[in-house]
Amino acid sequence: MTKQVQQLDRVIIRFAGDSGDGMQLTGDRFTAGTAEFGNDLSTLPNFPAEIRAPAGTLPGVSSFQLHFADHDILTPGDAPNVLVAMNPAALKANLGDLPRGADIIANTDEFTKRNLQKVGYATSPLEDDSLSEWRVHAVPLTSLTVKALEDFDLSKKDAERSKNMFALGLLSWLYHRPTEHTIKFLEQKFAKKPDIAKANIAAFQAGWNFGETTEGFSVSYEVKPARLAPGVYRNISGNQALAYGLIAASVQSKLPLFLGSYPITPASDILHELSKHKRFGIRTFQAEDEIAGVGAALGAAFGGALGVTTTSGPGVALKAETVGLAVTTELPLIVVDVQRAGPSTGMPTKTEQTDLLMAMYGRNGESPVPIVAPMSPSDCFDAAIEAARIAVKYRTPVMLLSDGYLANGSEPWRLPEIADLPDISQEFTTAPNGEEGTFLPFKRDTETLARPWAIPGTPGLEHRIGGIEKADGTGNISYDPANHDLMVRTRAAKIAGIDVPDLEVDDPDGDARVLVIGWGSTYGPIAAAVRRIRKGGGKVAQTHLRHLNPLPANTGEILKRYDKVLLPEINLGQLALLLRARYLVDVISYNRVRGLPFKAEELAGVIQDVINSDQ
Amino acid sequence: MNGKGLSLVPKTDVKQSLKDFKSDQEVRWCPGCGDYAILAAVQSFLPELGLKRENIVFVSGIGCSSRFPYYLNTYGFHSIHGRAPAIATGLAASRPDLSVWVITGDGDALSIGGNHLIHALRRNVNLNILLFNNRIYGLTKGQYSPTSEVGKITKSTPMGSLDKPFNPISLAIGAEASFVARTIDSDRKHLQSVLREATAHRGTSLVEIYQNCNIFNDNAFEQLKDPEVRDDITVRLEHGQPIASASKAVVRAASGGLEVVARDSVSDDRILVHDAHNPDPSVAFALSRLDEPAFEHVPIGIFRQVSRPAYDTLMAEQLDEAATRTGAGDLSELLLGGDTWRIG
């Protein structure tokens, strides 16, 4: 039987199941196959904080969304074309996002009376006509898997565990994904348990063959590779890119990296990743708490290391006092905040942009710090280098604001040429800078206002620093009113004077009257929305901030150039507050704090409304 | 004990004196404060080490004692309340060529910074921690501290404090410390002898120094200084020596612990011989409890001094091992390390 093959330009798949069903792994593997095939892609994992929430319940649902296309794309997609629902809870939790006509592949084995009751279905939606608007493929994934593994010496329970690989095989057939990769992966993952490896591979192949032979799937789909810029690519998540960026920053600054960190979702992966790369001379220190993590990083910076701490949510609050110490002692330090939904513990696995004002002002006294925010998973690499450049050059702590969406999301990354990476190295001070061979630890560079960085072990430059106000130049303890005023203003001027590139505006025809501005991880959804507007003939300009402090010098001029400025943020208007205060521009805020990224369609609607109101 | 405490710190061939370690800053403690004696003892001890001065760093937290680094002509970092062990850990773990000292007090180390202290001790970071214990909050003007006796009347406890104090020695031994000692601000000779051993120890050495705050808790340790009674209540600990004074001796109690008995009531062979190197910490712990409730028989000296790898050594070994196993890091290779594909 020859099956029909249909060409598509893009597909959004969502795998959803119980948190124990291996949906993240399934999504990862499908992503790897898709990356290998050469599609552009973007992913959105979404999972509960509980390691094993009660099975079969709505809070226990874990999902992984993947958007892949034959052209460059900017987001993981708004609405799935296909939902793989491993149980009734997964169906119920995700059905609301599913547009009419989308495919649902449901694991019928799990639609038992008990499981249906758990999520409040009186009757099975697979059997009543409540799903008539969708194309439902009822597949007994569990029992087919168990049957496929009959010949293996496995308990029924163990065999059932491979059902995610059966599903992966079926989807791989449906979308013409290469299979070698997954087989190799399974062999490696279960290298020490060859029987389990073989069983998983058998389940995967059975899933593929099921698609090929069953009449339930009459059409398969092909999405051609994307025509991306030439180069070598790999798929990368934000946290991994950020970790690699820190390693690159260490190499490019010629400073040994010291990471002081305490595990916290969703930042822990950076600690895990850096811990694997000790051969770069990287010291990773899992501290007793958040405070010790940043303290140790600052201590290492005093000793001449590239000090880094990574955290999220409440961890940022705990580090505030030490960041203030870094501000006043003027030592380089990188504070990575992978923002998550708050306040307090909030929703650890969900994303938000709600720490901007905390980064900006969340310390006692006047304690300005530069803020850098990456705009996509792969951009975390460059943003980390940029944060390190500023920290080292200006001797200051830098807040690097990633978030849960960037951290766990992934996309293809065109690898940079190492030779093109910036040299961010600075010389340590080794010679006296005062009269008669004295050393003045707070005598500043006249251009950058940075103070000397003289590290222990340097003869003749012995000096003391600390949290008490220091006299200009000598650094001696000083309570002199005029000196304090001078030092407060000088520290502020140093940060305000950091060299950040001008903001660039994307306005193809140059005649848009509405500007949409964003920062950090909203870049993808905003840019996708802007494309939609332009496709429909609308005019809108877009610009995006990577430097939140200091803001690019031309920010005010750009804001004032447009009739209307729209600023979508995943908070209640934090950047809007800063822009309004600073530039007296009546920025229109659009805010949602649902723990999820914006959808392109949603933002397109908001932009269109602003354009309409400008007529 | 292992004598390797400073083996990685470069030595000077210039003869040093006390003067070399005095900074140009005016010392600003209250007249009569025990901190002066400790500062003078440390300044006159440091030349003995013969280290390059630039490779010595004093890190402190907050409190009267934490002003210490300003008065020493070495590198210094006066940090924030309670966090000195954490900051010093980052420094010492990444710079084995430095002699890193932590100066802290009973409030700084045991209240706000208690967590960092115990973790530095268990990790055995190469630090010398000098804990100035005056059993009171000085810088905040006289509230009770975590080492104040129960019932302490202070501004914040007008009807007496309620919480049981920490015994810093017991705490340190419980936290797996490899070197634990106690000395007194006024006994320079003893203080320096303890510092000598502490600096020779590679790993964390915790030295509790009884220090008099003559403003808010004067004479807290007077019995240990009063010639009339001090010999009677001081129990000197010296490795390999019987733990006894002219009038008292420490013996194993029938209950399994230790007890203090009259010297002339026991034969010499029943007197406990101090073994600071005993891997089992229980005897050292029992010694630290001898003075419960207080100031009847106060052990002074080195309670525990055992050899175990320092944290920075272990960390450096892992880095070396990683480089040996797979070669030094190569950025290009790292970035290409995943599954890659080429376009164009």
Residue B135 sits in a domain whose CATH number is: 3.40.50.970
Domain assignment of residue B102, given as a range: 18-220+309-335
Contact by Cβ (8 Å): B276, B304: yes
**Residue B238 is assigned to a structural domain of this protein:** no
Q: Class for domain A234-420, per CATH?
A: alpha beta
Query: Which of A228, A256, A462 lies at the smallest CB-CB distance from B343?
Result: A228
Judge: B335–A234 Cβ closer than 8 Å, yes or no: yes
- Cβ contacts of B93 on chain A, cutoff 8 Å: 258, 283, 285, 296, 300
Residues A176, A224: Cα–Cα separation, whole Å: 10
Residues of chain A with CATH 3.40.920.10: 4-223
Judge: B80–A463 Cβ closer than 8 Å, yes or no: no
- Cβ contacts of A462 on chain B, cutoff 8 Å: 53-54, 73-76
Contact by Cβ (8 Å): A549, A358: no
- Cβ contacts of A439 on chain B, cutoff 8 Å: none
Query: Which of A278, A295, A477 lies at the smallest CB-CB distance from B319?
Result: A278
Nearest to A140 by CA among A112, A120, A116: A112
Taken in order A154, A158, A163, A168, is the CA torsion positive or negative?
Answer: negative
Two tokens, residue A511: 């005649």
CA distance A168 to chain B (A): 19
Show Cβ contacts of residue A193 under 8 Å, excluding neighbours closer than 6 positions: none
Judge: A462–B75 Cβ closer than 8 Å, yes or no: yes
The structural domain count of chain B equals 1
CATH 3.40.50.2300 fits A514-613, yes or no: no
**Residue B84 is assigned to a structural domain of this protein:** yes
CA distance B137 to chain A (A): 19
- Residue pairs between chains A and B whose CB atoms are closer than 8 Å: 210
Tell me the CATH architecture of domain A4-223: 3-Layer(aba) Sandwich (3.40)
**Residue B340 is assigned to a structural domain of this protein:** no
Judge: B94–A279 Cβ closer than 8 Å, yes or no: no
SS3 content of chain B, % helix, strand, coil (to 5): 35, 20, 45
Judge: B90–A289 Cβ closer than 8 Å, yes or no: no
Judge: A279–B75 Cβ closer than 8 Å, yes or no: no
- DSSP-based three-state secondary structure for A556: helix
CA distance A383 to chain B (A): 16
Give me the residues paired with residue B129 across strands. Answer: B102, B206
Judge: A233–B342 Cβ closer than 8 Å, yes or no: yes
Nearest residue on chain A to B57, judged by CA atoms? Answer: A456
- Cβ contacts of B123 on chain A, cutoff 8 Å: none
Residues A540, B177: Cα–Cα separation, whole Å: 65
Best of B94, B103, B125, B340 to disrupt the A interface (most A CBs within 10 Å) is: B94
**Residue B119 is assigned to a structural domain of this protein:** yes
Residues A268, A494: Cα–Cα separation, whole Å: 32
Q: Is the pLDDT of residue B3 over 60?
A: no
Predicted confidence at residue A227, as pLDDT, reads 87
CA distance B111 to chain A (A): 15
For A573: left if phi > 0, alpha if psi spans -120 to 50, otherwise beta; the answer is left
**Residue B302 is assigned to a structural domain of this protein:** no
Query: Which of A227, A233, A247 lies at the smallest CB-CB distance from B341?
Result: A233
Torsion angle (degrees, nearest 10) of CA B47, B48, B50, B56: -60
Q: In whole angstroms, how far apart are CA B229 and each of A31, B234, B295?
A: 79, 9, 11
Q: CB A11: neighbour CB atoms within 10 A?
A: 23
Instruction: Quote the pTM value.
Output: 0.94
Q: Is the pLDDT of residue B2 over 60?
A: no
CA distance A421 to chain B (A): 11
Q: How confident is the model at residue B338 (pLDDT cuts 50, 70, 90)?
A: confident
Query: Which of B70, B319, B335 lies at the smallest CB-CB distance from A244?
Result: B335
- Cβ contacts of A292 on chain B, cutoff 8 Å: 83, 85-86, 89, 115-116, 119
**Residue B112 is assigned to a structural domain of this protein:** yes
Judge: A302–B87 Cβ closer than 8 Å, yes or no: yes
Best of A181, A273, A288 to disrupt the B interface (most B CBs within 10 Å) is: A288
Query: Which of B53, B318, B340 lies at the smallest CB-CB distance from A278?
Result: B318
Looking at residue A40, its amino acid is: D
CA distance A185 to chain B (A): 11
The overall average pLDDT reported for chain B is 95
**Residue B146 is assigned to a structural domain of this protein:** yes
Residues B239-266 pLDDT 10s: 999 999 888 999 999 988 999 999 999 9
> ipTM surpassing 0.90, yes or no?
yes
Judge: B86–A291 Cβ closer than 8 Å, yes or no: yes
DSSP string, B307-339: ----HHHHHHHHHHHHHHHH-S--HHHHHTTS-
**Residue B116 is assigned to a structural domain of this protein:** yes
Predicted confidence at residue A51, as pLDDT, reads 76
User: For residue B192, with 0-12 CB atoms within 10 Å meaning exposed, 13-18 middle and 19 or more buried, which class applies?
Assistant: middle
**Mean pLDDT for back-to-back runs of 10 residues, chain A (615 residues):** 85 94 92 90 88 86 95 93 96 95 96 95 94 95 96 91 96 93 91 92 96 89 91 94 98 98 97 97 98 98 98 98 98 98 96 98 98 98 98 98 96 95 97 96 98 98 97 96 98 98 97 98 97 96 98 98 98 98 98 96 97 89
- Cβ contacts of B77 on chain A, cutoff 8 Å: 299, 302, 329, 464-466
- Tell me the mean pLDDT in the region B58-80: 97
Give me the residues paired with residue A133 across strands. Answer: none
CA distance A418 to chain B (A): 6
Nearest to B341 by CA among A181, A42, A232: A232
Judge: A304–B95 Cβ closer than 8 Å, yes or no: yes
Chain CA centroid to CA B62, Å: 16
Give me the residues paired with residue B131 across strands. Answer: B104, B208
Query: Which of A280, A288, A303 lies at the smallest CB-CB distance from B91?
Result: A303
Residues of chain A with CATH 3.40.50.920: 514-613
Q: Is the pLDDT of residue B1 over 70?
A: no
- Cβ contacts of A228 on chain B, cutoff 8 Å: 343
Q: Secondary structure of A385-439 in the HEC alphabet?
A: HHHHHHHHHHCCEEEEEEEHHHHHCEEEEECCCHHHCCCCCCCCCCCCCCHHHCC
Nearest residue on chain A to B118, judged by CA atoms? Answer: A288
Q: Which ranges of A12-150 does DSSP label H, i.e. alpha helix?
A: 23-37, 88-95, 113-118, 141-148
Best of B11, B12, B46, B331 to disrupt the A interface (most A CBs within 10 Å) is: B331
Predicted confidence at residue A2, as pLDDT, reads 67
Best of A34, A228, A244, A278 to disrupt the B interface (most B CBs within 10 Å) is: A278
Predicted confidence at residue B273, as pLDDT, reads 98
Query: Which of A283, A287, A301 lies at the smallest CB-CB distance from B86?
Result: A287
Using the structure block, give the residue that is written with the tokens 């933002």.
Answer: A603
Q: Is the pLDDT of residue B337 over 90?
A: no
Predicted confidence at residue A263, as pLDDT, reads 98
Residues A405, A491: Cα–Cα separation, whole Å: 33
Nearest residue on chain A to B51, judged by CA atoms? Answer: A457
Judge: B93–A289 Cβ closer than 8 Å, yes or no: no
Judge: A457–B55 Cβ closer than 8 Å, yes or no: yes
Cis before A263? omega within 30: no
Give me the residues paired with residue B237 across strands. Answer: B301
Contact by Cβ (8 Å): B51, B9: yes
